[in-house]
Structure 1
């Protein structure tokens, strides 16, 4: 009987371990704003804002981010135009090489511009990262949160920028690229804060953090709206008609309501600045985002990365539901 009891205890322990290994809970890390990941050859490469450098994580599953290998791939020298306030880095594999995009300043927000690094190594955790320079259109206006995507074999960049030189309003812009570090067209404004849910933030209204999202042949841009310093930070969506040029703003339609927002019931505030990824088996769609655990925490270091699976409507709209409460066990992305 004693032997049988021990065997049953071992079986229960193994079953419990297997169940634990197949689930995870949010948040993925205790802090980390503007989370982004890129999947290649069975690995996820993850970044978030660290302010003074670019740190890259590598993992088989983003659910295991806490134990993932990570290295600092770039720390700029002092006293240049891109040495401070490094925001929202993204590491992407484009045209056979790795590129790291980031916004940075020389010390004042008005100086924020987009920059890019290049690495020809097959593994971005190794090799040499070369500073390629600023990524800009002819206007050279304030710019943050760049995302590069490919559509019909052409590269495009979307970002958050100012129309002029004053910090009054952040809009979403798009431009075509001739290569991963050079914009080749005029910038086109696709979105401005116009609905009340986009304008929370006192004197400055915000559209930022744009991310391209493809579903079949349908192209969308999901962006963050309202000030991150408010509890009303939320996600909005732009849909491309599928006809004509991406650089024709008339071909884009804005969804009138937020598609992901604060859930007081689940105690998740200001979810936003998201990105997207597929499960390892390529069959599931997931959203990766940051959020606060308490109201009033704003844009500080308490924002933490989270993720959850989402679905689609029959007409191709993403359904994110509500931000999942902390501590709720979720199934890991399917292998």
Structure 2
């Protein structure tokens, strides 16, 4: 009995030590990670490609043991049956919404779409397809992120200016309701800096054609509003995060958005983390800590495929109120779990 008791104590001590820390990545694979915290649970999703999945957990560091479910599979041969990218789950006015980008097998036709679930449990089979989410003009669009500002809903996303792929810009529009954009889209960012166009030279030493702003994410702290976005192509190791800061009075006025001159979050060869990007943010269960959730590769040249894995780490705030994302932590770093209630 004494040996059994000692064994149980040792087991519990070992579990407690493990439970209070974690190491990245939190899953072996999963691009474009996103989560929402509602009634004590995180609901998490990432790009699967041909369907939408949800995970449910009290601790995002414990995603490997989280409950999961396929909650929606698109009907075949529709405009949104292929290449389902960057789903996000939101809880708005006591209803669940999932926003995602998809096409019919032709990337030129990528658009954003919305699902709604009015039941209390997002794992229920009550998801309803609400249709395409598009502003004027209706162009190629991905990576929609919805947020509330002064009691109004807005969406930011990445899109093309015209009908062909020249570069990806960041646009914003007001929402009439959680599945409908209102009015014209407004351009608030386009790739202009070297770090937004950086990539490897081709075999003839020609500079790369990389002009990408994508994955915009709303972030607010002490009344200051930011859009953190991904720059460069995900196929390059230079995929990184940039920042727009709102300094105006009207979110739909491009002059009210100021781009930070340098990237905030870049690869760390020393820590073995490449192409960190397409992030989201979340607070710890007690609401006291701010965390970044992002995907990255463990090796150079891994590109945009299934080797991208979700990772998370706590962020800090600079004296001027801007976010300090730090550097991507290595897979050997033990990280204390988000602070609990």
Give the count of matched residue pairs.
332
Q: Are 2:309 and 1:298 equivalent residues in the alignment?
A: no
| Distance change in 2, residues 1:156/1:15 (3 Å) | same
Q: What is residue 67 of structure 1 aligned with on the other side?
A: 65
1:121 to 100, 109, 119: 119
When structure 1 is superposed on structure 2, of 124-133 and 149-158 the one drifting more is 124-133
Q: What is residue 286 of structure 1 aligned with on the other side?
A: 291
2:256 to 221, 236, 251: 251
Cα distance in 2 for partners of 1:127, 1:50 equals 19
Cα distance in 1 for partners of 2:149, 2:289 equals 21
Question: Structure 2: which 5+ runs fail to align?
Answer: 200-207
When structure 1 is superposed on structure 2, of 50-59 and 197-206 the one drifting more is 197-206
Moved over 4 A (4+): 5-13
Per-residue CA deviation, residues 87-139 of structure 1 (Å, 9 max, x unaligned), is 00001011221111000000111000000011001111114111100000121
| TM-fit CA distance, 1:34 | 0.3
Q: What is residue 333 of structure 2 aligned with on the other side?
A: 328
Q: What is residue 216 of structure 2 aligned with on the other side?
A: 210
Per-residue CA deviation, residues 217-271 of structure 1 (Å, 9 max, x unaligned), is 1110000000000000000000001x32100010110000000010000000000
Q: What is residue 263 of structure 1 aligned with on the other side?
A: 268
| TM-fit CA distance, 1:288 | 0.1
Which residues of 2 match residues 192-211 of structure 1 at below 5 A? 192-201=190-199, 202-211=208-217
Q: What is residue 313 of structure 2 aligned with on the other side?
A: 308
The question of whether the paired residues in 2 share the 8 Å contact of 1:173 and 1:191 is answered with yes
Q: Are 2:227 and 1:229 equivalent residues in the alignment?
A: no
Q: What is residue 24 of structure 2 aligned with on the other side?
A: 26
| TM-fit CA distance, 1:16 | 2.6
Q: What is residue 202 of structure 2 aligned with on the other side?
A: none
The question of whether the paired residues in 1 share the 8 Å contact of 2:71 and 2:125 is answered with no
| Distance change in 2, residues 1:257/1:12 (3 Å) | same
Q: What is residue 41 of structure 1 aligned with on the other side?
A: 39
When the two structures are superposed, what TM-score results if normalisation uses the length of structure 2?
0.95
Cα distance in 1 for partners of 2:162, 2:326 equals 36
Cα distance in 2 for partners of 1:224, 1:300 equals 17
RMSD (Å) for aligned C-alpha atoms? 1.4
Cα distance in 2 for partners of 1:273, 1:54 equals 17
Cα distance in 1 for partners of 2:283, 2:336 equals 14
